[in-house]
Structure 1
Amino acid sequence: MTRLILVSIFVIILSCKEKQKVSTIQHSKATVVTHTNTSQDRYQKYTTVFKNNPDFIATSFDFPVGKPNAKGYYNAQKFKENNHLGDDWNGVGGGNTDMGDPIYTIANGYVSFAKDIQGGWGKVIRVIHKFKGKYYESVYAHCNSIFVKEGDLIKKGIQIGTIGNANGIYKAHLHLEIRDSIFMDIGGGYAIETGGYLDPTDFIKKN
């Protein structure tokens, strides 16, 4: 009986130590993530990613719909129009006729974000591109579906999602942004100050 009690106490102590160990590991991981989530650390991360995967460095850019030249679509709200920070691509049929149409990545790159953030953005995909020694980011918003996940390395022209309406807030269209400042927050889509944002159509045509 005494031996059984001692064994039980030993098992309980061992169990408590194991729980404490697991808790410490989880806390350590969280600390590491917070520590490495600086712009400098993320920049180094992308440098390493593209150094190890040179086939995914961008060499040219295409349009994200009607590939490669946006056939069947029009730019319904251009960059800077109404302080717009991107381009709004709509199907020529108008309304929701382009709902569910394919969205293609504009260049080789690394998926840094792919989530439904709700509100006026809906489902969003963000892709980092290394091009001619510089980093750029493309942002695809209001998606109906997302076919990629964070961490994916992708080639130009592959389908990464479908056109949506931000969960019913708008008529279906794709909001596309191109940024040369890759660590900005998602933002509001509209602003008088355009620092960090590029004219998507102009950039794609030139590259």
Structure 2
Amino acid sequence: MKILWCIIIILLTFFSSKKQLVTNSAKESIGIQDAHAKYDALFSKHPELIAIDFDFPVGKPNGKVYYNAQKFKSNNHLGDDWNGVGGGNSDLGDSIYSIANGYVCFAEDIGGGWGNVIRIIHKYKDKYYESLYAHCKTITIKAGDFVKKGDLIGTIGNADGLYLAHLHLEIRDDIFMGIGGGYSENTKGYLDPTKFINEN
């Protein structure tokens, strides 16, 4: 009898958790649909801010006097690290520019190894992309702003002295991911920033 009750409890737990999983998936799906609808409405109201093309976030034009110190996938890196050619902290406080027209969905200091982070949603060729800029010294825009390609959005920082100054840039084709860790063997949702900018 005791064994039978254990089996019943296990089965009830299994079906209950399965139902919860389906409910959570449905909620997540609705949340994504709502976000897509929100961005569709925003860019419909502001078609002039749909991305036409992309540029590098530093050294106008085309990353002049900067170099990509740690490329996408190097040591499982999920972005590019842009450094001034002077090395060290020579680029501390230098300008960061939006890589394309878009909508600022996040701009805050989240501390830790990330520091000040800016996240911008770009509508481009009927798809959505996100650019993420990390370790910023300052942020000159706020969530809810629209930006154009080349607009000043912040300055290069060092995450309160954790690193030598540089800009960590990520480009994602999944705009619903969390902040992440900056490094992973799994690159699903992440694009090679330099390759994407050069091709678009």
TM range (shorter): 0.7 to 0.9
Equivalence map 1:171-186=2 (5 Å): 171-186=164-179
Mapped to 2, the partners of 1:85 and 1:153 lie a distance apart of 25
Q: Tell me how far 1:42 sits from its aligned partner.
A: 1.2
Higher-Rg structure is 1
- Structure 2 unaligned blocks of 5 or more: 1-26
Residue 56 of structure 2 corresponds to which residue in structure 1?
Answer: 63
Kindly provide the CA deviation profile for residues 133-169 of structure 1, in whole angstroms up to 9, marking residues without a partner as x.
0000000000000000000011000100000001111
Equivalence map 1:191-206=2 (5 Å): 191-206=184-199
Mapped to 2, the partners of 1:150 and 1:38 lie a distance apart of 19
Q: Identity, % of aligned pairs?
A: 69
SS across alignment from 1:46: helix
Amino acid at match of 1:204: I
RMSD: 1.6
Amino acid at match of 1:71: K
Q: TM-score, normalised by structure 1?
A: 0.82
Aligned residues: 174
Residue 151 of structure 1 corresponds to which residue in structure 2?
Answer: 144
SS across alignment from 2:88: coil
Kindly provide the CA deviation profile for residues 91-117 of structure 1, in whole angstroms up to 9, marking residues without a partner as x.
000000000000000000000000000
Kindly provide the CA deviation profile for residues 159-183 of structure 1, in whole angstroms up to 9, marking residues without a partner as x.
0000000111100000000000001
Equivalence map 1:93-112=2 (5 Å): 93-112=86-105
Amino acid at match of 2:194: T
Q: Tell me how far 1:68 sits from its aligned partner.
A: 2.4
Residue of 127, 149, 152 corresponding to 2:120 = 127
Does the 8 Å contact 1:68/1:157 carry over to 2? no
Does the 8 Å contact 1:90/1:98 carry over to 2? yes
- Structure 1 unaligned blocks of 5 or more: 1-33
Amino acid at match of 1:39: I
Equivalence map 1:1-207=2 (5 Å): 38-207=31-200
Mapped to 1, the partners of 2:33 and 2:61 lie a distance apart of 34
Does the 8 Å contact 1:87/1:175 carry over to 2? yes
Amino acid at match of 1:201: T
Mapped to 2, the partners of 1:57 and 1:157 lie a distance apart of 14
After superposing on structure 2, the runs of 4+ consecutive aligned residues of structure 1 that deviate more than 2 Å are none
